[in-house]
Structure 1
Amino acid sequence: MRLTILGAAEQVTGSMHLLQINDYNILIDCGLDYEKGTFQNENLYFTFDPASIDVVILTHAHIDHSGNLPTLVRMGFHGQILCTPPTAELTEVLLLDSVNVFLSKQNKRSRSKRFKSGPDPLYLYKHVTETVDRFVTINFDKDFPLNENIFLRFIPVGHLLGAAAVILTVKEKGDTKKIAFTGDIGRKNYPLLIDPQPLPQVDYLVSESTYGGRLHSTGTTLEQKLIETITEACIKYPGRLIIPAFSIGRTQSLAYTLNKIFSEKKLPFVKVFIDSPLAAAATEIYQKYENYLNPEAQGFYKNQKQHFDFKELSYVNDKRESMSVSNYHEPCIIISSAGMLEGGRIQDHLYYNIQNYYCTILFIGYCAKGTLGNRLLRGDPIIKLRNRDLMVYATIKQTDLLSGHGDHKDLVNTVKQQDPNTLKKVFLVHGEINSMNNLSESLKQENYQVILPKRNESFEL
């Protein structure tokens, strides 16, 4: 059995791992690498023949795990893509949205005086359709045979609706080995999502390390933080609260929590706008798979009959409606994508409100270096938007209470479920190098054998 780490090695994005068992080739995830953009050679070309892959196993829908599947199909992959039912539907809407992003970038650069034409998209709508046709869905905790010697089981890990760890049981040369890929590990008591479930004992573990060395905030709940922020931004002063949020996952958890707050009359009426067509599509999928949500969310649904719709809330459908939100002069909450302020309708709201003393911008997720969101969080007094220099008069706040990743303690505890005398190696992926080093040191203190693989590095298991 041979494992090759093809992506998310000493970085966060581009998750992709190749497991070769005799002549059978398994690809676990096929994500876009965002470290250097979305049109670089790392996404356009593979270090293997896509036609040689027998099956793809997808841990969850986020684009850094699923976003290059249509390129794989376009370049010759003919096999099945295995995932949970919610992952299949969420991935489809995300991949279609990716095509929109590719085409918009192509059109934008085509209009530039410097370029005669923009870059070709990585894939088109037809390639997404061909990809979706290859999805085969498997529920959690069911053994699924890939062939007579390899069996797959999905274990729920929270993080996102339908997200799973991959457990592969392999019979090889008279021995039975187990290898687990965590995908992205969620956190306990997260809105809507079930807690990550313990992994069975395995021989090898490929683990994410995003929050290695970092701990989430404690001492307050998400509800308390939102009530405090809304009170300050919209009730004590007649202003507006803008929340940049990723359309899939964070927006649904935020809408659900606001629904709880207003339905329990913990705050007076404040208008809420969700301005993201992608979020609206994803919300329908979340509602469809209500049985995948945690017991609290299922109980709330029995009482309220709706997780994501309440009288204070309006979904903004088209661009015209989006622009009209800027003319809403009463206190309000605007939730829009993208979470790091790099494109999307959020930039319109930012443009019209960044110089508003009565506006608060609440970041609920990580903002990578170089992004507009990161520049605001580090305190830049002026930002450039639409070729204009704008003074930052709005109040900037941040919370990590809606982060979908488990923190350092959660990651260590996930590995500690494994007997260090049985677990032969832990491979750390999907994290910045400092995060990997911090997590590695903690695991070594617990007597685990830890490897920080380089990109395209292979290991005989």
Structure 2
Amino acid sequence: MKLTIWGAAQQVTGSMHLLQINNYKILIDCGLDYEKGTYQEANLIFPFNPADIDLVILTHAHIDHSGNLPTLVRAGYEGQILCTGPTADLTEILLMDSVNIFLGKQKRRPKGRKRFSSGPQPLYLQKHVMETMDRFVTIGFHKSFKITGDIELTFVPVGHLLGAAAAVLTVNENGVTKKIAFTGDIGRKNYPVLVNPDTLPQVDYLVCESTYGGRLHSKDTSLDDVLIKTIEDTCIKNPGRLIIPAFSIGRTQSLIFKLNQIFSKKLLPPVEVFVDSPLANHATDIYRKHHQYVNEEAKSFYQLKGDEFEFENLTYLQTQKESMAVTNYLDPCIIISSAGMLEGGRIQDHIYYNVQNYYCTILFIGYCAKGTLGDRLLRGDPIIRLRNRDLMVYAKIAKTDLLSGHGDHEDLMDMVKQQSPNLLKRVFLVHGEINSLTAFKTALEENGYQAEIPQRGLSYEL
């Protein structure tokens, strides 16, 4: 059995791991790599022949894990893609959204009666996404799926996103049984809507994400307290508006549920809430469709109060016209819109019209990569440039990490500590920046585990 780490090696994005068992090749995840310049070009060529891959296993829908699947299919992959039901549905809308992003990067200019395109060519189009989705086969959690006579797959829930799973492979190789698990991304305990990460069975090898290695989430306050205080200061004591940039899938649904709880308990007077993201609207419908996968808290709320994602003062905006109408809404309100880093989407409209508003608060609830508009606001730039205009920043800028979908250092350690250090032969650390990987590796070794930080393309005989 040979493991090669082809993506998310000493970086966060582009998860892609190749497991070869005799002559059978399994690719675990096939994500977009955002960290190599023009990511369309960086993701076009694979370091192996896609036609030689026998099977793909997808841990969850996020684009850094799923986003290059259509390119793989275009390049000759003909096999199945195994994942959970929610992952399949969420992946489809995310891949379609990626097509729109690719096309948006092309600048179309008139030239006589013809039009031509400049900018990077799309990695794939809608037809390629549909061809890819035809290959999906869905499997439930904790159900053993026989891939071949010698290989079985079991999905174990890990939180992080609806349907997200660790992939546990049981392999009979030359009469010897071996187990290897790929964690995908590990969620947090007691996260709104999502289940807690489940216990993994004892394995021989573990490929583990490390995003928050060496870092802890805030623990001195609760998400309820942060939201209540921010809403109270912005929309109750003052006639302001609270703008919350949020990723459309996962973060938005958890935030809506938490606001539903706050308002249903009458912890605050009613405030109008607008969700301005067509992608989030589609994702919320998928959360409703796969309601059996939400956590017990959300299920209990549904039994007592009804739909977790609907309440009296909540409006899902559909059209661009409805979105622009909110600009002229004069009463205090909360606007949830994408994208979370402010690099595109309808959120830019709301920032453009409100960043110079003293009565506005912009609350970041997720990570903003360096150099993004969100990062510039968070670091305190007094002026930002948006739509060819320099805008003074008069709005209040706030941040909380209590809605981060990734488990922190303690959560990562808890996941590995389920394994006996005497039986777990090696932990391969991926999906993290080098400081996080190093801190996590050091902590694991102090607890008796053998940990590796693989370089891209390095193979291990297991």
Report the TM-score when normalising by structure 2.
0.98
Query: Match of 1:366, as an amino acid?
Result: Y
Pair 1:311–1:254, CA change in 2 (3 A): same
- Where does 1:333-348 land on structure 2 (aligned, <5 Å)? 333-348=334-349
Deviations 1:271-316 (A, max 9, x none): 0000000000000000111111111100000112211011110011
Q: Distance in 1 between matches of 2:369 and 2:109?
A: 23
The number of residue pairs the alignment matches comes to 458
Query: Match of 1:398, as an amino acid?
Result: K
Q: Work out whether residues 365 and 401 of structure 2, in 8 Å CA contact, stay in contact via their aligned partners in 1.
A: yes
Q: How far apart are residue 223 of structure 1 and its match? A: 1.3
Deviations 1:339-385 (A, max 9, x none): 01111110110000000000000000011111111111111111110
Q: Distance in 2 between matches of 1:155 and 1:63?
A: 20
- Where does 1:11-22 land on structure 2 (aligned, <5 Å)? 11-22=11-22
> RMSD across aligned C-alpha pairs, in angstroms?
1.2
Q: How far apart are residue 438 of structure 1 and its match? A: 0.5
Q: Distance in 2 between matches of 1:319 and 1:116?
A: 25
Q: Work out whether residues 39 and 122 of structure 1, in 8 Å CA contact, stay in contact via their aligned partners in 2.
A: no
Pair 1:235–1:108, CA change in 2 (3 A): farther
Q: Distance in 1 between matches of 2:190 and 2:358?
A: 35
Q: Distance in 2 between matches of 1:259 and 1:37?
A: 41
Q: How far apart are residue 220 of structure 1 and its match? A: 1.8
The answer to whether structure 1 residue 315 and structure 2 residue 324 are counterparts is: no
- Give the match's secondary structure for 1:242: strand
Q: What is the aligned partner in structure 2 of residue 306 from structure 1?
A: 307
- Give the match's secondary structure for 2:43: helix
Q: How far apart are residue 173 of structure 1 and its match? A: 1.0
Q: What is the aligned partner in structure 1 of residue 254 from structure 2?
A: 253
Q: What is the aligned partner in structure 2 of residue 349 from structure 1?
A: 350
Query: Match of 1:31, as an amino acid?
Result: G
Q: Distance in 2 between matches of 1:75 and 1:260?
A: 47
Q: What is the aligned partner in structure 2 of residue 55 from structure 1?
A: 55
Query: Match of 1:297, as an amino acid?
Result: A
- Where does 1:99-110 land on structure 2 (aligned, <5 Å)? 99-107=99-107
The answer to whether structure 1 residue 272 and structure 2 residue 241 are counterparts is: no
Deviations 1:82-103 (A, max 9, x none): 0000000000000000001101
Q: What is the aligned partner in structure 1 of residue 179 from structure 2?
A: 178
Q: Distance in 1 between matches of 2:207 and 2:178?
A: 14
Q: Distance in 1 between matches of 2:290 and 2:412?
A: 27
Q: How far apart are residue 413 of structure 1 and its match? A: 1.3
The answer to whether structure 1 residue 45 and structure 2 residue 23 are counterparts is: no
Q: What is the aligned partner in structure 2 of residue 399 from structure 1?
A: 400
Q: Distance in 2 between matches of 1:116 and 1:56?
A: 34
Q: How far apart are residue 42 of structure 1 and its match? A: 2.9
Q: Work out whether residues 159 and 194 of structure 2, in 8 Å CA contact, stay in contact via their aligned partners in 1.
A: yes
In percent, how many aligned pairs have the same letter? Answer: 71
Q: What is the aligned partner in structure 2 of residue 371 from structure 1?
A: 372
Q: Distance in 2 between matches of 1:450 and 1:141?
A: 27
- Where does 1:221-240 land on structure 2 (aligned, <5 Å)? 221-240=222-241
- Give the match's secondary structure for 2:339: coil
Q: Work out whether residues 169 and 177 of structure 1, in 8 Å CA contact, stay in contact via their aligned partners in 2.
A: yes
Q: Distance in 1 between matches of 2:261 and 2:220?
A: 20
Q: Work out whether residues 247 and 276 of structure 1, in 8 Å CA contact, stay in contact via their aligned partners in 2.
A: yes
- Give the match's secondary structure for 1:19: strand
- Give the match's secondary structure for 2:168: strand
Query: Match of 1:272, as an amino acid?
Result: V
Q: Which moved more, 1:286-295 or 1:159-168?
A: 286-295
- Where does 1:401-440 land on structure 2 (aligned, <5 Å)? 401-440=402-441
Structure 1, unmatched stretches of 5+, are: none
Q: How far apart are residue 118 of structure 1 and its match? A: 2.2
Q: Distance in 2 between matches of 1:3 and 1:110?
A: 50
Structure 2, unmatched stretches of 5+, are: none
